[in-house]
């Protein structure tokens, strides 16, 4: 009937308490949790399952799972109903639970001294505990305040904790695996992809280009004068120079391009769906920005380096991934041999 308001979050939680507890303590619920939570090794999918499961516990405007991603910052892995207006409340609850390691409940976040600016509505936060550590938070948010804090009785809270434990273990394992996989294909110094990932990606992109009939280009570049940086300023300065150069090179590429440190002072850029003209344009941009940069300025220095860049395009210069990389590498050495700081385009052999 129009004008009748839905019961607030505290009332809805209280109304579901008995049936929810009976469900959560059942052997079938635990078995299903273990099976579903471990059905994927992707953190986003594990979190997505947990959100979909929690949605059935009691009605809320938003359910969300937050956790630290492989790079460290807290992030929302999965949600149902999250809007910008609810985000201050979400971060309030998630950060508080992470710091304190216990459940959070508030009937009015706008008046709660624990809440950050802009938070509103009511909410509950459940810690996801694995190996004695809070590795994430399950949050339920409602857009409007409640007459009382939405609380779970001791027996229901115990049942929720029992079901969340295997889910937290599965999520933590998925995040650890994701981090390990990322590290295995990432260059520690620059944060770019490493040569292992480059080779795999180049094979994959070459096959895709062959199927689609679209061009594929690769740049292979070497920093000119890098040895002198090491000899003059030391290897630590050389490492910082490589890291600064990586930022410039990454900034010259598109999001869809694959930028990698091949090894030493050599870098490579895979340019999907890019012909020779577009590849030369990117190479020119990289060369000009590296040449204009003053490296190690934070150390009071103004080191200059340039780049020798080889360009190769599939299928014009090569018929396979290995041949394409070799062609770009050979083209780069042609620049080295002719005075450095330039670009050379590989042609079909």
Q: Is the dihedral of CA 222, 227, 230, 235 positive or negative?
A: positive
- Other Cβ atoms within 10 Å of 64 Cβ, number: 27
Please give the backbone phi and psi of residue 202, each rounded to the nearest 5 degrees, phi first: -65, -40
Residue pLDDT, tens place only, 180-219: 777 688 888 999 999 989 999 999 999 999 999 999 999 9
Q: Look at the pTM and tell me if it is higher than 0.85.
A: no
Q: What was the pLDDT predicted at 201? A: 93
Question: Strand (E) positions, 304-349?
Answer: 306-314, 342-345
Beta pairing partners, 303: 295
Q: Could you give all domains of the chain from N- to C-terminal order, each with its CATH number?
A: 9-183 (3.30.450.40), 195-345 (3.30.70.270)
State how far the Cα of 64 lies from the Cα of 61, in Å rounded to an integer.
10
Q: How far is CA 101 from the centre of its chain?
A: 25
Q: What was the pLDDT predicted at 74? A: 85
Residue pLDDT, tens place only, 18-35: 999 999 989 898 898 889
State how far the Cα of 329 lies from the Cα of 226, in Å rounded to an integer.
18
Q: Report whether 333 contacts 320 (CB < 8 A).
A: no
pLDDT band (50, 70, 90) for residue 43? very high
Q: What was the pLDDT predicted at 83? A: 94
């Amino acid at each position: 009937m129009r004008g009748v308001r839905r019961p607030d979050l505290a009332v809805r939680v209280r109304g579901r308490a008995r049936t929810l507890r009976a469900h959560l303590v059942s052997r079938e619920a635990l078995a299903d949790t273990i099976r579903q939570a471990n059905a994927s090794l992707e953190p986003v999918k594990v979190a997505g399952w947990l959100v979909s499961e929690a949605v059935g516990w009691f009605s809320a405007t938003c359910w969300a799972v937050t956790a630290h991603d492989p790079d460290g910052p807290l992030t929302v892995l999965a949600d149902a109903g999250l809007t910008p207006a609810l985000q201050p409340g979400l971060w309030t609850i998630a950060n508080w639970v992470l710091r304190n390691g216990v459940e959070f409940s508030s009937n009015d976040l706008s008046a709660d001294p624990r809440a950050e600016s802009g938070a509103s509505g009511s909410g509950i936060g459940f810690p996801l505990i694995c190996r004695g550590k809070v590795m994430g938070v399950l949050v339920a948010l409602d857009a409007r305040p409640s007459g009382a804090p939405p609380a779970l009785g001791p027996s229901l809270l115990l049942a929720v904790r029992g079901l969340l434990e295997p889910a937290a273990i599965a999520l933590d394992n998925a995040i650890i695996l994701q981090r390990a996989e990322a590290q295995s294909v990432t260059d520690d110094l620059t944060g770019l992809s490493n040569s292992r990932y480059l080779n795999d990606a180049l094979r994959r992109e070459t096959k895709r280009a062959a199927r689609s009939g679209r061009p594929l280009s690769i740049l292979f570049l070497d920093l000119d004068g890098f040895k002198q940086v090491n000899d003059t300023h030391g290897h630590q300065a050389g490492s910082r120079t490589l890291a600064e150069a990586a930022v410039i090179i990454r900034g010259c590429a598109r999001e869809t391009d694959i930028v990698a440190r091949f090894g030493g002072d050599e870098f490579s850029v895979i340019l999907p769906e890019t012909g020779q003209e577009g590849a030369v344009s990117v190479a020119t941009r990289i060369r000009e920005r590296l040449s204009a940069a003053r490296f190690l300025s934070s150390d009071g220095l103004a080191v200059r380096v340039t780049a020798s860049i080889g360009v190769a395009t599939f299928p014009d210069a090569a018929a396979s991934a290995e041949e394409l990389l070799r062609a770009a590498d050979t083209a780069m050495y042609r620049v080295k041999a002719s005075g450095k700081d330039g670009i050379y385009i590989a042609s079909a052999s």
